[in-house]
Amino acid sequence: MKKQDMNRDWIATARTLSQALPYLQRYTGATVVIKLGGHAMGSDDAMEDFARDVVLMQQVGVNPVIVHGGGPMINAMLDKLDIPSSFVDGKRVTDRATVEVVEMVLSGLVNKRIVQAINRQGGKAVGLSGKDADLMICDQTNPDLGFVGTPAELNPDILYNLFGHNVIPVIAPLGAGHAGETFNVNGDTAAGAIAGALKADRLLLLTDVAGVMSPEGDVITELTAHQIRDLIADGTIAGGMIPKTETALRAIEDGVRAVVILDGRAPNACLLELFTEHGAGSLIRAD
Ligand SMILES: Nc1ncnc2c1ncn2[C@@H]1O[C@H](COP(=O)(O)OP(=O)(O)O)[C@@H](O)[C@H]1O
Ligand SMILES: CC(=O)N[C@@H](CCC(=O)OP(=O)(O)O)C(=O)O
Q: What is the ipTM of this complex?
A: 0.96
- Nearest atom in ligand 2 to the alpha carbon of residue 173 is 6
Question: Which ligand is the nearest neighbour of the Cα of 141?
Answer: 2
From the CB of 236, is ligand 1 less than 6 Å away? Answer: yes
CA of 273 to the centre of ligand 1 (A): 19
Between 239 and 92, the higher pLDDT residue? 92
Q: What is the pLDDT of residue 90?
A: 82
From the CB of 145, is ligand 2 less than 6 Å away? Answer: no
CA of 148 to the centre of ligand 1 (A): 21
DSSP, collapsed to helix, strand or coil, labels residue 191 as helix
**pLDDT, tens digit (0-9, with 9 covering 90-100), for 253-281:** 999 999 999 999 888 899 888 888 767 89
- Nearest atom in ligand 2 to the alpha carbon of residue 39 is 13
CA of 138 to the centre of ligand 1 (A): 25
Best residue among 68, 77, 91, 92 to mutate for probing ligand 2's pocket (most ligand atoms within 8 Å of CB) is 92
CA of 13 to the centre of ligand 1 (A): 36
C-alpha to C-alpha distances, 57 to 145, 206, 210, 244, nearest whole angstrom: 38, 16, 21, 24
From the CB of 75, is ligand 1 less than 6 Å away? Answer: no
From the CB of 211, is ligand 2 less than 6 Å away? Answer: no
pTM of the model: 0.92
DSSP, collapsed to helix, strand or coil, labels residue 122 as coil
**pLDDT, tens digit (0-9, with 9 covering 90-100), for 157-203:** 999 999 999 999 999 999 999 999 999 999 999 999 999 999 999 99
How far is 154 from 50, CA to CA, in rounded Å? Answer: 27
How far is 255 from 258, CA to CA, in rounded Å? Answer: 9
Give the residue, by CA position, lying nearest to ligand 1 atom 13: 240
Q: What's the whole-number mean pLDDT along residues 140-155?
A: 98
Q: Residue 142: which of 84, 186, 198 has the closest Cα?
A: 186
CA of 90 to the centre of ligand 2 (A): 8
From the CB of 39, is ligand 1 less than 6 Å away? Answer: yes
Q: Where are the beta strands (DSSP E) in the chain?
A: 31-36, 63-68, 87-88, 91-92, 125-129, 136-140, 149-154, 168-172, 174-177, 182-184, 202-207, 222-224, 258-263, 282-285
Contact 27, 64 (CB under 8 A): no
What is the Cα 58 distance to its own chain's centre?
A: 16
Above pLDDT 70, what percent of the chain?
94
Give the residue, by CA position, lying nearest to ligand 2 atom 14: 71
Q: Is the dihedral of CA 176, 194, 111, 210 positive or negative?
A: positive
Question: Which ligand is the nearest neighbour of the Cα of 239?
Answer: 1
C-alpha to C-alpha distances, 67 to 13, 110, 193, 233, 269, nearest whole angstrom: 32, 11, 10, 28, 16
Residue 274 CA neighbour count, 13 Å, CB half: 28
Considering the segment(s) 29-285 as one domain, its CATH architecture is 3-Layer(aba) Sandwich (3.40)
Domain boundaries defined on the chain: 29-285
How far is 86 from 75, CA to CA, in rounded Å? Answer: 10
Max CA separation in the chain (angstroms): 70
